[in-house]
Amino acid sequence: MVHYLSAPYNHPDPEIRKQRYQLITAFAGKLIKEGTYVFSPITHNIPIKEMEILTSWEEWKPYDLTMLSLCNQMIVYQLPGWETSRGVQEEIAFAKEKNIPIVEMKPEALV
């Protein structure tokens, strides 16, 4: 089973974006270490975004939703801002539309 890890990333403050990237990547690593196979789009996409190849959600959206469609389940990592994150909310809507099960996990889930 492969899980898609959805989490908020964008924020006007670059320090918050950096912190989110680190938290999401560490969380993905912990899941993998536990034996949960996970695709983390933030972990994968941010190095490419920083090279200014693809920079917006609109550019990443087709790729991310294709990857989500290939996964068996979606994990919503509930970092602050997940409820208002456009990307997370669009991924949730897509998963529901495609009948992909959704699991919500709080930041303290894998301490």
Reported confidence tier of residue 46, pLDDT bands at 50, 70, 90: confident
pLDDT bucket at 110, cuts 50 / 70 / 90:
low
CATH code for the domain in which residue 78 is found:
3.40.50.10400
Q: Look at the chain and report how many structural domains it folds into.
A: 1
Least confident of 19-23, 53-57, 104-108: 53-57
- Provide the 8-state DSSP code for 72: S
Structural domain range at position 19: 2-110
DSSP string, 30-78: HHHHTT-EEE-HHHHHHHHHHTTSS-SHHHHHHHHHHHHHTSSEEEEE-
